[in-house]
Amino acid sequence: MRDSNPDPFASKERLTTLIAQDEIARRVRELGAEISRDYREGDLVLLSVLKGSFMFLADLVRTIDVPLTVDFMRVRSYGSRTETSGVVEITADLTAPVQGKHVLFVEDIVDTGLTMAYLVDNIRTRRPLDVRICSLLHKPARKLVETRIDYLGFTIPDRFVVGYGLDYGEKFRNLPYIGTIEDEPPG
């Protein structure tokens, strides 16, 4: 799963591949097939949490063969560049009501679980038929609240990851794979 990768995207940080592009593509297809089987009855809304999930969403929707709509929420979590504080603010809300719909959150990563806990509670107040979570990545080592992830891509170790939509200070979202970054040692 890991190989050292002299990368054209790298600046001063060193990137190591954690999950390769073809592994992601294979797993996304499997998740899409599972979701298609489970939501035959329709009224499915994929709710993407920006910005990190944009690439996962774009690939995932193309593997789902039941009718669906897509909507977006944008959130800001307060904290440092790599740690969330659990204080979440919705900075852009849905464009349509989800009452009476099957809501499926599409997330890039569940880390502490605080963002998803907040958003699931928030969406439940809008009376959807049900709410489930699809997350590409899960970092269980940092769990602060229990999160039931109904469709999970990969469980990863406690490392800060970038690529495939995920950023470090807004950089690296365009990497086609998931990598870990290490700062170059000084000098």
The residues carrying an active-site annotation are 111
* 52 sits near ligand IMP (criterion: CB under 6 A): yes
Among 113, 128, 153, 179, binds ligand IMP (CB under 6 A): 113
| Sequence-ordered list of residues with C-beta below 8 angstroms from that of 85, at least 6 positions apart, any chain | 77, 78, 79
Closest CA to 51 of 168, 131, 147, 134: 168
Cα(166)–Cα(45) distance, integer angstroms: 22
Q: Which residues pair with 9 in a beta bridge?
A: none
Backbone angles phi, psi at 43, to 5 degrees: 55, 40
Considering only residues 152 to 171 of the shown chain, the ones binding ligand IMP according to CB under 6 A are 160-162, 166
178 binds ligand IMP (CB under 6 A): no
Q: Is 109 in the site for ligand IMP (CB under 6 A)?
A: yes
The two tokens of residue 27 are 């797993």
Of the candidate spans 24-32, 37-45, 60-68, 107-115, the one that interacts with ligand IMP by CB under 6 A turns out to be: 107-115
Whole-angstrom distance, CA of residue 61 vs CA of residue 51: 16
Q: Which is nearer to ligand IMP, 74 or 127 (CB)?
A: 74
x/- string (CB under 6 A) for ligand IMP, residues 59-98?
------------------x------x--------------
State how far the Cα of 40 lies from the Cα of 156, in Å rounded to an integer.
Answer: 30
Residues that bind ligand IMP (CB under 6 A): 52, 77, 84, 107-115, 160-162, 166
